[in-house]
Structure 1
Amino acid sequence: MRTLSLGRTGPDISALGFGAMSFGGIFGPTTEAESLACLDAMYEAGITFIDTANIYGMGISETVVGTWLASRKPKVVLATKASFVAGPPRRVDNSAEHLRSELEASLKRLGREQVDLFYIHRREHARPLEEVIGTLHDLEREGKIGGYGMSEIAPETLREAHAIHPCRAVQNEYSLWSRQPELGLIQECGRLGVTFVAFSPLARGMLGQRPLPFASVSDGFRSQNPRFTQPYFDRNQARIEPFRAFCAARGWSVPATALAWVMAAGPHVVPIPGTRSAERLKEWLPLPDLTEEDRAEIERILPAGFAAGDRYGDGQLLSIERYC
Structure 2
Amino acid sequence: MTLPTRRIGPFTVSAIGLGCMNLSHAYGRLPSEADGIRLLERALDLGVTFLDTAALYGYGGNERLIGKSVMRRKDEFTLASKCVLDVFDGERGLNGRPEAIAKTLDQALVRLGTDHIDLYYLHRLDPQVPIEDSVGALARAKEAGKIGALGLSEISAATIRRAHAVHPIAAVQSEYSPCVRNPEVAVLDACRELGIGFVAFSPVARGYLADAIAHDRYEEDDIRAIMPRFVEPQLSSNLALLARFRDLARGSGITPAQLALGWVLAQGDDIVPIPGTRSIAHLEEDVAAAHVALSADTIAAVDAIFTPGAMAGPRYSPAMQATIDTELLPEEMADA
TM-score by length of 2: 0.91
Q: Deviations over 1:197-246 (max 9, x none)?
A: 11111110101154444323675311111111111112111111111011
SS where residue 206 of structure 2 aligns? helix
* Alignment check: 8 A CA contact 2:40 2:70 kept: no
Which one-letter code corresponds to 1:26 in the other structure? A
1:304 deviates by 3.3
Q: Which residue of 2 aligns with 1:195?
A: 197
Moved over 6 A (4+): none
1:304 and 1:264 mapped to 2: Cα distance? 19
Alignment of 1:112-131 (within 5 A): 112-131=114-133
2:278 and 2:233 mapped to 1: Cα distance? 28
Q: Is 1:148 aligned to residue 168 of structure 2?
A: no
Q: Deviations over 1:102-134 (max 9, x none)?
A: 111111111111001111111112222222221
SS where residue 43 of structure 1 aligns? helix
1:73 deviates by 5.0
2:78 and 2:327 mapped to 1: Cα distance? 31
Alignment of 1:69-218 (within 5 A): 69-73=70-74, 75-86=76-87, 90-216=92-218
* Alignment check: 8 A CA contact 1:176 1:304 kept: no
* Alignment check: 8 A CA contact 2:183 2:327 kept: no
1:84 deviates by 2.0
Q: 1:214 to 1:319 in 2, by over 3 A?
A: closer
Unaligned runs of 5+ in 2: 329-336
1:132 and 1:124 mapped to 2: Cα distance? 9
2:135 and 2:74 mapped to 1: Cα distance? 32
Q: 1:64 to 1:85 in 2, by over 3 A?
A: closer
Which one-letter code corresponds to 1:18 in the other structure? L
SS where residue 76 of structure 2 aligns? coil
Alignment of 1:46-61 (within 5 A): 46-61=47-62
Which one-letter code corresponds to 1:79 in the other structure? A
| Greater alpha carbon shift after TM alignment, 181-190 vs 215-224 | 215-224
Aligned residues: 322
Q: Which residue of 1 aligns with 2:11?
A: 11
Q: 1:147 to 1:302 in 2, by over 3 A?
A: same
SS where residue 319 of structure 1 aligns? coil
SS where residue 117 of structure 2 aligns? coil
2:196 and 2:264 mapped to 1: Cα distance? 16
Q: 1:183 to 1:70 in 2, by over 3 A?
A: closer
Which one-letter code corresponds to 1:225 in the other structure? M
Q: 1:218 to 1:310 in 2, by over 3 A?
A: farther
Q: 1:218 to 1:32 in 2, by over 3 A?
A: closer
* Alignment check: 8 A CA contact 2:26 2:221 kept: no
* Alignment check: 8 A CA contact 2:55 2:86 kept: no
Q: Which residue of 1 aligns with 2:64?
A: 63
Q: 2:308 aligns with which of 289, 304, 312?
A: 304
